[in-house]
């Protein structure tokens, strides 16, 4: 059975699509499935934000085929690991959990890079274009750590 990892942000158009694309590119497809979702419902069915698609393209990743969807309670059982981008995503996701086992699956993604520091991936949606570049680099670094850990643990 493949290991399943879910990336979660607010809109599922800026940060989590990048996190999905980056982590998926670092893991063998045969053993791992990576998906993403938003806590909000505004962008269901939509393509990622054009600025996220562009920054991914610049780094040779195609995330343009992804489609926005909303996080649901079913995701707690469907996924082994749930990575959220910021503390407000954390609260919104954990609010839907039924038990401690589900809560334990949810981690702030930058805690893999900076353990215990609870650093947010800033929301670049209302910001300037270079916000996407810095978000890409944060996600790239933390996904590198995550991929190494997952490969070591699950092979």
Residues that bind ligand 4NP (CB under 6 A): 9-15, 38, 42, 123, 125
Report the nearest approach of ligand 4NP to the CB of residue 154 (Å).
27
| Cβ closest to ligand 4NP, residue 42 vs residue 129 | 42
Q: Which of these is catalytic: 14, 15, 86, 143?
A: 15
Is 91 noted as a catalytic residue in this protein?
no
For residue 53, the minimal CB distance to ligand 4NP (Å) is: 12
CB 73 within 8 A of CB 96: yes
Residues belonging to the chain: 155
Nearer to ligand 4NP (CB atom), residue 17 or residue 146: 17
Write phi, then psi, for 50 (nearest 5 degrees): -60, -30
Residue 112 vs 123, nearer CB to ligand 4NP = 123
Place of tokens 């469907």: 78
Q: Which of 49, 75, 86, 123 is catalytic?
A: 123
Tell me the two tokens of residue 139: 């996600």
**In angstroms, what is the minimal distance from the CB of 10 to ligand 4NP?**
3
46 among known catalytic residues:
no
From residue 4, give the alpha-carbon distance in Å to each of 1, 58, 117, 127. Answer: 9, 27, 25, 31
CB-wise, 10 or 56, nearer to ligand 4NP?
10
Q: Which residue is nearest to ligand 4NP (CB)?
A: 11
Query: Is position 80 annotated as part of the catalytic site?
Result: no
Hey, how many other C-beta atoms are within 10 angstroms of the C-beta on 4? 15
Q: How far is the CB of 54 from ligand 4NP (least distance, A)?
A: 15
Instruction: Please give the biggest Cα pair distance in the chain.
Output: 41
Alpha helices for 10-153 (secondary structure H) = 15-26, 50-58, 74-78, 87-94, 100-104, 130-153
Active site members: 9, 15, 123
């Amino acid at each position: 059975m493949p290991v399943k990892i879910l990336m979660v942000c607010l809109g599922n158009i800026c940060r989590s699509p990048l996190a999905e694309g980056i982590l998926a590119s670092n893991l063998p497809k045969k053993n791992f499935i990576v998906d993403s979702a938003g806590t909000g419902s505004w962008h269901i069915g939509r393509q990622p934000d054009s600025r996220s698609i562009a920054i991914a393209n610049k780094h040779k990743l195609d995330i343009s085929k992804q489609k926005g969807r909303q996080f649901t309670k079913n995701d707690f059982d469907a996924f082994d690991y749930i990575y959220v981008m910021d503390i407000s995503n954390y609260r919104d996701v954990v609010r839907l959990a039924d038990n401690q086992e589900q809560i334990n699956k949810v981690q702030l993604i930058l805690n893999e890079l900076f353990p215990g520091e609870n650093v947010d991936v800033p929301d670049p949606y209302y910001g300037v274009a270079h916000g996407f570049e810095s978000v890409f680099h944060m996600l790239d670094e933390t996904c590198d750590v995550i991929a190494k850990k997952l490969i070591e643990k699950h092979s």
